[in-house]
Amino acid sequence: MGTLRFTKMHGLGNDFVLVNGFRERIERDMAELARRLCDRRFGVGSDGLIFLLPSQVADLKMRMFNPDGSEAEMCGNGIRCLARLAYEEGLVQGRVIRVETLAGIVVPELILEGDKVSQVRVDMGEPRFFRREIPMLGEGDTAIEAPLEVNGEIWEATCLSMGNPHCVIFVPRIEEAPVTELGPKLEYHPLFPQRTNVEFIEVQNPGEIKMRVWERGAGETLACGSGACAAVVASALTGRTKRKVVVHLPAGDLQIEWAANNHVFMSGPAARVFEGLYYLET
């Protein structure tokens, strides 16, 4: 009976199954494994499946798959979990880790309290605004406070890439945000040839926002690290906040800074919950 050892982790309730590809032989199609392992009834259950793999250009490589099997270029909460696990499994020695991703090299730094990882601070790189980089179709080079027509209604959206695509919608009250009604319609909107993540943002003051998120390939999740980065960039770019913002999510906060060097830094926790053995024949 083929088995796969995994570690279950989460970043503010955005949870992941992580597989150490330095130790486990992965002979199955990764997208199919994601669909099965992420299933909350027939599998382990998570918002994503993450592989830690050898890299030719960095300390290690991250591959991240959504529960629907689609592969994402970036995963902010996931890379914090990956960094903690890589350190605790001895795959890396230093606290600053270079991770190869489909979005380029991303650099998490472990913040220790004694010998325990208390937080992870990630240089998430630079935001990209050109439609061709998001990718996004439509008029004009960028989509900043741009009108988006959905079933006859016009929504104002600020769209950008953090390596993965994001569509940010500002709402007056987060509790009333149409996450499950509008989220999937925007995720699959024809203007997004590779679909998109959708962030709903209530700006509380220039230093704090509240966020709910409909994720590409996953649906509504409790948190989205790359989405929080995109939300802060969109908020600052449109004059709603400063560039250093606390993002309030249902299970806690992320500290995001769009720094003067144009890199976006995200700080937050990475919780290690349990280890397990998945039976591949199930």
Ligand X SMILES: N[C@H](CCC[C@H](N)C(=O)O)C(=O)O
Binding site for ligand X (CB under 6 A): 14, 47-48, 66, 72, 75-78, 164, 197, 215-218, 224-227
Choose the catalytic residue: 75, 81, 159, 167.
75
- Of 206 and 272, the one with the shorter C-beta distance to ligand X is 272
Nearest-angstrom CA–CA distance, 18 and 228: 22
- Of 64 and 91, the one with the shorter C-beta distance to ligand X is 64
267 carries a ligand binding annotation: no
Q: State the distance between the two ends of the chain, measured CA to CA, in whole angstroms.
A: 10
151 carries a ligand binding annotation: no
Residue 152 beta carbon to ligand X: minimum distance, rounded to whole angstroms: 27
164 carries a ligand binding annotation: yes
Residue 77 beta carbon to ligand X: minimum distance, rounded to whole angstroms: 3
Q: E strands, 130-224, where?
A: 143-150, 153-161, 165-170, 197-205, 208-215, 219-221
The position carrying tokens 């024949």 is 281
225 carries a ligand binding annotation: yes
CA distances from 257 to 73, 144, 154, 241 (A): 21, 19, 30, 11
Residue 25 beta carbon to ligand X: minimum distance, rounded to whole angstroms: 25
- Of 142 and 226, the one with the shorter C-beta distance to ligand X is 226
Structural tokens at position 162: 């953090």
Residue 218 beta carbon to ligand X: minimum distance, rounded to whole angstroms: 5
Structural tokens at position 208: 């704090």
Residue 237 beta carbon to ligand X: minimum distance, rounded to whole angstroms: 19
Choose the catalytic residue: 38, 81, 167, 224.
224
Active site residue 38: no
Q: Which of 279, 249, 266 is nearest to 78 (CA)?
A: 266
Neighbours of 152 (CB within 10 A): 5
Q: Where are the alpha helices (DSSP H) in 15-65?
A: 30-37
- Of 108 and 227, the one with the shorter C-beta distance to ligand X is 227
Q: Which of 56, 57, 49 is nearest to 19 (CA)?
A: 49
Active site residue 167: no
- Of 21 and 78, the one with the shorter C-beta distance to ligand X is 78
88 carries a ligand binding annotation: no
261 carries a ligand binding annotation: no
Backbone angles phi, psi at 88, to 5 degrees: -75, -25
Residues with active-site annotation: 75, 224
Q: Which residues are annotated as a binding site for substrate?
A: 14, 66, 76-77, 164, 197, 215-216, 225-226
